[in-house]
Every structure is written in C-alpha cells, then in structure tokens.
Amino acid sequence: MSGTIFLGDVRKQACMLNDDYFQCIITSPPYFGLRNYSDDSMNEIGRETNLSDYVKHLVEAFSLLRPKLRDDGLLWLNLGDTYKEKSLLSVPWRVALALQDDGWILRSDIIWHKSNAMPSSVKDRPTVDHEYIFMFSKNIKYFYNADAIREPHITFTEKSKTRGGRNHFGKRNGTPERGKNGGNPNLHNGRWDQAFHPNGRNKRTVWEIPLGKFRDAHFAVFPEKLVENCLLASTQANDYVLDPFCGSGTTGIVALKHNRNFIGIELVKKYQNMAQKRINTLVVQNTLF
C-alpha cells in the first residue's frame, strides 16, 4: 500500500485504514472559507457556511483517524487563519482547543514564519506572514527524536544577544546574568559543555521556511523542509506516515525520500491524480538509481 493515495473524503475513507498503524500524521486541511477545491460545496471541509461546522467537521475527521495512529504516534496539523468582516477568526486555535477537548494532547504550537510571504495591499493592519503548526499526541508518552532536528547554537556566534559571548565559555562565574540564571550551576560553574548539546540546540518553536512550489499546482504547497522537520522528529525508517488531506502530495514525497512508507487521502480527483503522479515518478526514479 505504500505510496498509494486514496480518492475520497477522509471521513469515509478512514475505515479502510488499519488501526494502530501510522507512526505520524502530517497534514494541512483546507482552510476555512479561503478556497474552493472541488464542485462538492455541500461536503468539502473548508466550505462550510459557519465556523462552528468547520471546527466540528475537523474534530470528526481526526477522531476517526486517532485509532489509526500508533499509541506513541504524533499528529502534526498546519492551519492558517481567516478574516471575516474585518475580524480575525482565530481559526487555528479554535480547532486546536476543540481537538484538545476531544482527547488529543496538545504538546506544542509552532509558528511557521513564511520568509517569502506574498505582499499584501492591506493598510489598516500588519501583513500576515505566519501560520500555525500544532503537535498533538494520543498519549503522554510518545516517540520524539529531538536530536534529528536540532538547530545550530547561536550563543557563541555573531547572532548571540549575550554580552561577552565566547569570553564566558568555561569560566567559573563567567556568565553575565545575575537574576534568572543565578542558581544554574551548569552556567555559573563554567560547565557549558553540559548546557550545550554537541549536535546543536533543541528545536525552537518558530520555523522560518519559505513557501513551497510545484509547477502543476496553482496554489502554494507544503514546503518540504516543514514536512521534514515533523517527519524526522516523529518517525524512524520504514514507519508509516499518513496525510489525510494530501493535496499535491508533498508529505508523501518527503516521506519516501527519507525511507518512510506513505499513505495519502485526497478528496479532489485532479489533485489525487497530481499527487499520485508525483509519488509514482519518485518511486520509479528510486528504483532506477
């Protein structure tokens, strides 16, 4: 089944998936009221006439998917917000809190800063250049590989905001702080080797990643780097990954590139064909080379 993208509504297709099967779900559902993807306005998530129905439908979808996720698995959910009558609706957080009420454990909210966000003609508020990524778990204990997505330390670089920078390294009582870190022996006894992991610092919750591009899609697609962060942190080789709102198939492309298995679900036939073609092309290339 790996590399297959099923056509249909996830709320109907979920029953085809095995329970306790996927190590992670990485997905970006249609945003509320922003774009029409199909002609089925009655059933397409994102085209509801009111926000409460949109939230309810997403909660229903992920409730059906929760048994398909392994007990130590994670759900990564990307959502953008929507304005209506000049008011920001706070859609991502409404969905996140509703999922939390439904039993999901909200472990982290991540800001995806889109470094190449489109300019806006708006003049009475700041231009939006971020979206949310929510990290949910089924249980308190779950698989998470922090080492796989560590980022470079900045403390001893030109980007450091600490006064003195490298001059404090290894020096007892060498740190400038006399307040918040006053009782931290790793900092004030010169044991910087214990405070700083040799492979980099723990991943922060602001990810600066440009929008993705794919020539056959007439809309911005999931950036591969964004998917990669989620994938590497929550899976190992040969694990199964699910994207129930598959779109152009970027989650599947990244999963296969990193030796993971992938299953997708997509409501719109045009996009299901597009994504399946991308997946098949990659599989053939991997087979040949």
d(CA 37, CA 270): 9
pLDDT tens digit sequence for 245-259: 999 999 999 999 999
Phi-psi region at 109: left, alpha or beta (left = phi > 0; alpha = psi -120 to 50)? beta
d(CA 72, CA 56): 25
Tokens 């304005």 correspond to: 83
Please compute the mean of the pLDDT values over residues 57-86 and round it to a whole number. 96
The pLDDT confidence band at residue 32, using thresholds 50, 70 and 90, is very high
d(CA 167, CA 190): 11
210: exposed, middle or buried (Cβ count in 10 Å: 0-12, 13-18, 19+): middle
The pLDDT confidence band at residue 228, using thresholds 50, 70 and 90, is very high
**15-24, 28-37, 197-206: least confidently modelled range:** 28-37
The pLDDT confidence band at residue 219, using thresholds 50, 70 and 90, is low
- DSSP sequence for 121-171: ---SSPPP-EEEEEEEESSSS----GGGG-B---TTSTT--STTGGGGTT-
Domains of the chain in start order, with CATH, are 4-150+202-288 (3.40.50.150), 153-201 (no CATH)
Most confident of 93-102, 148-157, 217-226: 93-102
Please compute the mean of the pLDDT values over residues 136-165 and round it to a whole number. 82
Is it the case that residue 189 has pLDDT exceeding 60? no
Q: Give the number of other CB atoms < 10 A from CB of residue 222.
A: 25
pLDDT tens digit sequence for 110-137: 999 998 878 788 899 999 999 999 999 9
d(CA 174, CA 271): 58
d(CA 281, CA 275): 10
pLDDT, greater one: 109 or 193: 109
By percentage, how much of the chain surpasses pLDDT 70?
79
Beta bridge partners of 25: 75, 242
**β-strands 83-84, 69-79 pairing:** unpaired
- The sign of the torsion formed by the CA atoms of 213, 246, 146, 111 equals positive
